[in-house]
Amino acid sequence: MRPGRLRLLAAAAAIALVAAPLCVTPSFAQTPMDNDPLDARDAKRLDRMEKVVRELRDIVFAAQKTGAPVVVQPADTDSRLTDLATRLGDLEQTLTKLNGSLETTTHELDQSRRDNAALRAQVKSLGDRLAADEQKVAEAAQAAQTAAATPAAPAEPEAPADPKAAAAAAASAFTKARQLMLNGDYDGAQAAFAAYVTTYPDTPRTPEARYWWGKTLAVNGDYARAAAAFIGAIRGWPQTVWAPDAVVELGRALVELKKPTDACEALVEVNRKYPKAPAAVKSRAAAVRLKAKCG
């Protein structure tokens, strides 16, 4: 006998055994009993058994028609529960990894915040120190500018009885002041030329001393006093090599003092009074005109 037939017979026998207890006469099932032996749990179990019997019967009948061996597959519910359990396990693993990554990211973020706070504190400290240093530099510069703008009046030498001795003293003072400027000591030169103008107001070189004095004042940004010095230098339009440049410097000082109209009027005199001025001086005059927006 073929194995498929044997399996069919075995399945049929199992169905008969399971179904046998169910084959009771209706009269017996309908007999009233004071104490029903089947409680609710047994009733559910019986329903499940009847369902299994029906499924087995359908399988047997289908096998009889096709001749195929009887294979009882697990219930679809169990398969789904197994699949859900697997997926749940995968989700738990993924969640665990995400939690680990989140903890790492949170730790790194906290560390970055601490680093940023420390950096901001360092920047603030450096900014405070820089502000303090700038304040000290500004105060020192202001003190130096004040001292340079108001040089201590040197003791006026007694006028020598001999005119030649007086002229020699004036020439020596001018030479010393000019040398200070050539050496780059503009503060010292400024004080020396101021002393010369005060001590020797009427010498032939006093206008030139005013010109150089104005140059040192302009270098230190004192454009108001520089303009006054240049005006005193070019009074009478002297025909000297430094006079054209003195006019240009006067115009530049007036531009810095926000007086472009006055600057343009002064610069007109460069070509009129000094037509033979050096090309470099004329070029600088043109640059100042452009800055003053002369017409």
Q: Are 109 and 50 in contact (CB under 8 A)?
A: no
C-alpha 129, offset from chain centre: 20
Per the structure block, which two tokens stand in for 57? 């019967």
174 domain-assigned: yes
Q: Residue 196's domain spans which residues?
A: 163-292
Q: Please give the pLDDT value at position 142.
A: 53
Distance CA 271, CA 64 (A): 131
205 domain-assigned: yes
85 domain-assigned: no
271 domain-assigned: yes
Q: Please give the pLDDT value at position 14.
A: 52
Q: What is the pLDDT along the chain (295 residues), one digit of tens a residue?
A: 444 444 545 555 555 454 444 444 444 444 444 555 557 777 777 788 788 778 777 777 776 677 666 555 555 566 667 777 888 888 888 888 888 888 888 888 888 788 767 657 765 665 565 456 456 545 544 544 444 444 444 444 444 557 788 888 999 999 999 999 999 999 999 999 999 999 999 999 999 999 999 999 999 999 999 999 999 999 999 999 999 999 999 999 999 999 999 999 999 999 899 999 999 999 999 999 999 999 7
13 domain-assigned: no
Number of domain units in the chain: 1
Distance CA 153, CA 192 (A): 10
Per the structure block, which two tokens stand in for 116? 């940023």
Per the structure block, which two tokens stand in for 19? 């179904």
203 domain-assigned: yes
| Distances, alpha carbon 107 to alpha carbons 102, 121, 219, 273, in Å | 8, 21, 59, 80
213 domain-assigned: yes
Residue type, 105: T
Q: Please give the pLDDT value at position 28.
A: 40
131 domain-assigned: no
Give the CA angle between residues 102, 106, 111 to the nearest 5°: 150
- Which of 191, 190, 230, 192 has its CA nearest to residue 210? 230
Task: State the chain's maximal CA–CA distance in angstroms.
Answer: 168
Q: Please give the pLDDT value at position 206.
A: 95
The CATH code of the domain that includes 209 is 1.25.40.10
